[in-house]
A = this chain, B = another copy of it.
Amino acid sequence: MEKKDIKVGLVGLGTVGLGVAKVLSSNSDLIAKRVTPISLKRIVDKNVTVAKEKAVEIGYSADIVTDDFNDILNDAEISVVVELIGGIHPAYEFIKSALLAGKNVVTANKDLMASLGGELLHIAEEQGRDLMFEASVAGGIPILHALKECLSGNKIQKIMGIVNGTTNFILTQMSQTGADFASCLAEAQELGYAEADPTNDIEGFDAARKVAILASIAFNSRVIDTDVYVEGISNIQDIDIKYARELGYGIKMLGIAKEDNGEIEARVHPALIPLQHPLASVNDSFNAVFVTGDAVGDTMFYGRGAGELPTASAVVGDIMESARNICQEVTGRIACTCFEDKRIKHMDETISKYYIRLAVMDDPGVLSRITKAFGDNKVSLSSVMQKGHNNKQGDAAQIVLITHTVLEANVQKALKEAQALDCLYEIKSLIRVEKR
């Protein structure tokens, strides 16, 4: 392979951008030997003063920092543009114009790829250029490459991922300390694992974007963020974590994508998972993606899902791959992989097991009236446990039910019927149970 000097333009010198600049500099010898010399020629950041300081601190000249994206766009020497500003606008415009100008693009932008990714990938394809986004899902874990290339001989059947570090940290804390959601969230915020407004993470929107990207690649059919069913973890009670553990389960926030009979299921919600499942011991802010393929069986990819250097690892890996493609004149080597158009199931049509905790009247006969509501709706139960029976007469008792694998629609109907009974005070929890 004839080596060329590859020049990179970086947009956004935030946490990840700084990480990328550091890795390109500290490992430049290794990168040159492994692929080809790659150097950072230009950094665009809206806050030029701060960016100049940061650039100089890690050994770059202040001169390469600018606030004008055109300084990258119009520089014919720059062949790889790295977009790390996040969000939809102006990232979309930057990437689109870079591709149209014949540049290759590397991005970590999950918001953008999970919404307008299809359009951008088609532009890249038409231009014969790379648009790579490994860092957009699970940080440093090379899961997108694994799905696109190494595992591509497989019909992928299911993906289950812990793809949000904030919620995994909170659930790990709740599980290990017995503390409640609010105090674990506060701790996560203190430690910088959760943002001041944590909605995106704890309500599952961040994970939904990653699930959309994973599902699109795994099933070769476009899934966007709003296609993904989302349920957050803010209703998870410490008592549910305790009961789950008694039953041999942990509670994890999972992103799930399945293909069944040519239809796709994509959902994000907390779930009970057996304690001996490899995902159950993925703790703290670590991420992991569990992939089941028809040939490979079960595999898991584990690592840091965020952070300066782990995410930079994925970005630099993409830059190096694009650089190799440039040297070998095969940019756009792997085009958009969505060549199918599969229907996405409504949540009502999905099947699962369910953990259900109810507050009921502590009276004989209550159990049979409630379980009848489930039976009438074809929801068969695999276990029924009464908790807290030692209350005073008339007090609320807790019933924990585990269903067999049943249709979501039927569970919802059963709960509606049960709710109409005077002996059911409250549906405390409804959490899906995943096996594999």
Q: How far is the CA of A384 from the CA of B3 in the complex (A)?
A: 57
Q: Is A358 an interface residue (CB 8 A)?
A: no
User: A179 at interface (Cβ–Cβ under 8 A)?
Assistant: no
Contact with A296, one of B26, B310, B337 (Cβ below 8 angstroms): B310
State how many angstroms separate the Cβ of A419 from the closest Cβ of chain B.
40
A223 CA to B283 CA, complexed, in Å: 34
Instruction: List A residues 308-332 near B (Cβ within 8 Å).
Output: 309-310, 312-314, 316-317, 319-321, 324, 328, 330
* B residues near A23, Cβ cutoff 8 Å: 153-154, 295
Contact B152 A142 (CB under 8 A): no
Selecting from A44-52, A199-207, A297-305, the interface stretch reads A297-305
CA–CA, A260 and B145, complex, Å: 29
CB of A307 to closest CB in B, whole Å: 8
Given contacts A145-B150, A314-B150, contact A303 B298 (CB under 8 A): yes
Question: CA A142 – CA B293 in complex, angstroms?
Answer: 13
- Interface residues in A143-160 (C-beta closer than 8 Å to B): 145-146, 149-155
Given A298-B303, A299-B303, A328-B333, CB of A317 within 8 Å of CB of B149: yes
Known: A300-B302, A303-B298, A304-B296. A337 touches B34 (CB 8 A): yes
The one of B134, B281, B330 in contact with A278, judged by C-beta atoms closer than 8 angstroms, is B281
Contact check, A301 vs B301: say whether CB atoms are below 8 A apart.
yes
CB pair B151–A142 under 8 Å, yes or no, is yes
What 0/1 pattern do residues 1 to 43 of A give for CB contact below 8 A with B?
1000000000000000001000100110011011100000000
Alpha-carbon separation in the docked complex, A334 to B327 (Å):
12
Q: Which listed residue (B27, B324, B337) contacts A333, Cβ 8 A?
A: B324
Q: How far is the CA of A314 from the CA of B151 in the complex (A)?
A: 7
User: 1/0 contact trace for A106-148 toward B, CB 8 Å?
Assistant: 0000000000000000000000000000100000111001100
Is A220's beta carbon under 8 Å from chain B? yes
Distance of A281 Cα from B314 Cα, bound (Å): 26
CB distance from A5 to the nearest CB of B (A): 17
Please name all residues of chain B whose beta carbon is closer than 8 Å to the beta carbon of A62 when the two chains form the complex: none
Given the interface pairs A141-B299, A220-B34, A299-B303, the reply to whether A27 lies near B153 with Cβ below 8 Å is: yes
Chain B residue with the shortest CB-CB distance to A147: B142
| Interface residues as binary, A239-264 with B (CB distance below 8 Å gives 1, 0 otherwise) | 00000000000000000000000000
Closest B-chain residue to A319, C-beta based? B153
Chain B residue at minimal CB-CB distance from A290: B302
Cβ distance A160 to chain B, nearest Cβ, rounded Å: 13
Contact B303 A302 (CB under 8 A): no
Q: A149-B321, A324-B334 are in contact. List 16 more A-B contacts (CB 8 A).
A: A26-B294, A27-B154, A30-B220, A31-B153, A33-B220, A34-B337, A142-B151, A149-B320, A153-B317, A281-B281, A295-B316, A296-B303, A296-B310, A299-B301, A301-B301, A324-B333
Q: Which A residues are within 8 Å of any B CB, using their own CB?
A: 1, 19, 23, 26-27, 30-31, 33-35, 134, 140-142, 145-146, 149-155, 220, 276, 278, 281-283, 293-304, 307, 309-310, 312-314, 316-317, 319-321, 324, 328, 330, 333-335, 337, 339-340
17 contacts between A and B (CB under 8 A): A26-B294, A27-B153, A31-B152, A140-B295, A140-B299, A145-B146, A145-B149, A149-B317, A150-B317, A152-B320, A278-B281, A295-B312, A296-B303, A297-B309, A300-B302, A300-B303, A301-B301
